[in-house]
A and B are shown apart, each in its own frame.
Chain A
């Protein structure tokens, strides 16, 4: 009888590359900031651009987060997501125009109250619209990607045209509330107040979303549903209801993003949602379809990239984002933080 081969497990330490792998996407944001710092000669312009890049990224994240969750949960790709952005912007801005006396007053509290009313109004409108959209347009085509793309695109066209019917074909110009106009100076760099607010709102939304997804029961069900929906249903949860809820929440967030985007650009058109969709898709793809964290990082990258490049070479801004997407897909074909689907 021979002796059993000696069992000597070697606890090889994971290599540096292996340990840093999961953190790579997170590190990309500071890396891009540093690259921008090296490329832009002037520190104060770099700071201004970084803040506006982060602000833009946060707004794109707010608009895109619903799309990525809806896809992850129910494998539904909604090309009409941009419609919620447009509707949110139009409803919110209309409310702000009605509350003109409050936004023109120099009081911060009055301004914020008006903004809050506008945002809540926009979110209720887009949330309700999301419910209708889900029931009428998306539900009959579950599990059929081709039809989903076609039908939701059709929905986008119809909603865009309805906006034109209701609000007229002209673009609407809007002034930001009095307290959010202008900029504060920090270290020689002019930082627009509105952008700082946008960054704050984005961080709050991201934090809240992470909290709900990681710490609550409903978040657990949503995450489990993204991983393996059939199993969750087998355990007795009605994933359909959860899905409708997520769809409504995602639509409402898109509405919030629309209001913020409209105030950021200070002009709204019926096609703005469609234009935002281009950036939203890039973000969702490079983040990894279904991943909220990936979407957040992707949005920041896109926002920063867009602002840096627009400063250095204005014509290359949109192309640079395509380049970013290509580079990331070459590195990780499923996006930065791929969501594992147990199928």
Chain B
């Protein structure tokens, strides 16, 4: 049962299993274990980023293709739900329509970009996605009539998912309201998507992708159409990213260029994948959790450190809380060199 749920791809390391179990339990019971607006928000972000990072890992870790347009697909999903909820009224039907159309649009976009660039050289894909993604980001902020421009869109989600909706009294001191339902909507949505992607990478399709990653020439020689597999992987990962974006929109009840389309999020995703471990779906879980928690608390720590070295030239500037990307960049380069398999790869090797 558990084996088939995890698609026969168990963590294969005791430490890793324990960590994953703890993360799963914490996320499943987050509203009860850590009641508080900020912590529940962090937990929801972790859930969503796990899906987003896993979908990126499908492309990068399993397909060996670097894309810089992943936030674009994420944004397409988010804007899909936002537009549907704005124009169709606050119903679950609007969420379904928005999420599905977002996923379809993302997949079609990925198909077009993939057909253009992947048939020549996989390396073109990275450059073209970078150009297209930035053009789309500019376009979204310019088409303010439709997308709300830089301000983004604020919209109403179904009543059952808002804090105003109450059912029953309290459970373990936690109010049973729509916010709780919204969290579990996000949590189970993310869980299902994650297990689906685990299924995909462990299917024969996923095996072929890994073969292409290792040696595309040989895979072609064996008789697999490399381009088709690569394009299919791109479309799948784009659709999954769009669905993650839909979850994000439902959770935030807001979309804007900064929260969904910005290059910073793209860099965050890259860091999460590499730190967690490329080519292991579980790496997405570890990477996203570590990163989101660090994002929330590391900045405070750096601020404190900057205070400690006050007076030393240059050091306070280097440790300024706003400079945390600097250290993440260094960490990123080091982990690509020395831990290309990330945390998960380390744990699996050290068993």
Contacts and interface: CB of A to CB of B under 8 A. Distances in A.
Given A149-B66, A162-B326, A329-B116, A318 B333 contact: no
A165 B314 contact: yes
Contacts of B320: 165
Contacts of A277: 130
A333 interface: yes
A334 interface: yes
Interface stretch (B135-143, B240-248, B293-301): B135-143
B172 interface: no
Given A158-B329, A333-B119, A315 B127 contact: no
Chain B contact residues, majority secondary structure: helix
B270 A150 contact: yes
A326 B333 contact: no
B309 interface: no
B134 interface: yes
B326 A158 contact: yes
B83 interface: no
B323 A151 contact: no
B131 A281 contact: yes
B234 to A, nearest CB: 15
Nearest to B112: A326
Interface in B216-274: 263, 267, 270, 274
B66 A165 contact: no
Query: In terms of DSSP, what is the predominant structure of the interface of chain A?
Result: helix
Which of B270, B317, B329, B337 has most A Cβ within 10 Å? B329
Interface in B300-351: 314, 317-318, 320, 322-323, 325-326, 328-330, 332-333, 336-337, 340
Interface in A84-124: none
Contact of A153 (B116, B139, B270, B326): B270
Nearest to A319: B135
A157 B332 contact: yes
Given A150-B336, A157-B267, A325 B126 contact: no
Given A157-B328, A318-B135, A319-B135, A285 B66 contact: no
A261 interface: no
Nearest to B324: A161
B123 interface: yes
B336 A151 contact: yes
Given A149-B126, A161-B323, A164-B323, A154 B131 contact: no
Q: Point out which of A154, A157, A326, A330 has the most chain B C-beta atoms below 10 A from its C-beta.
A: A154
Nearest to B323: A161
B119 to A, nearest CB: 7
A321 B323 CA distance: 33
A278 B134 contact: yes
A309 B260 CA distance: 28
A326 to B, nearest CB: 6
A59 B274 CA distance: 35
Contact of A151 (B127, B328, B337): B337
A119 to B, nearest CB: 27
A52 interface: no
A146 interface: yes
A189 interface: no
A66 B239 CA distance: 36
Contact of B127 (A141, A275, A281, A321): A281
Contacts of B325: 157, 161
B99 to A, nearest CB: 26
A145 interface: yes
A56 interface: no
Contact of B330 (A77, A140, A158, A325): A158
A65 to B, nearest CB: 16
A322 B270 contact: no
A103 to B, nearest CB: 28
Contacts of B174: none
Top 4 A-B residue pairs of the complex, sorted by shortest distance between their CB atoms = A161-B326, A157-B329, A158-B329, A281-B127
Given A325-B131, A334-B120, 18 more contacts: A77-B123, A147-B336, A147-B340, A150-B336, A154-B330, A154-B333, A154-B336, A157-B326, A157-B328, A158-B326, A165-B318, A169-B322, A284-B127, A285-B124, A289-B121, A319-B139, A322-B132, A329-B117
Interface of A: 77, 79, 137, 140-141, 145-147, 149-151, 153-155, 157-158, 161-162, 164-165, 169, 274-275, 277-278, 281-282, 284-285, 289, 315, 318-319, 321-322, 325-326, 329-330, 333-334
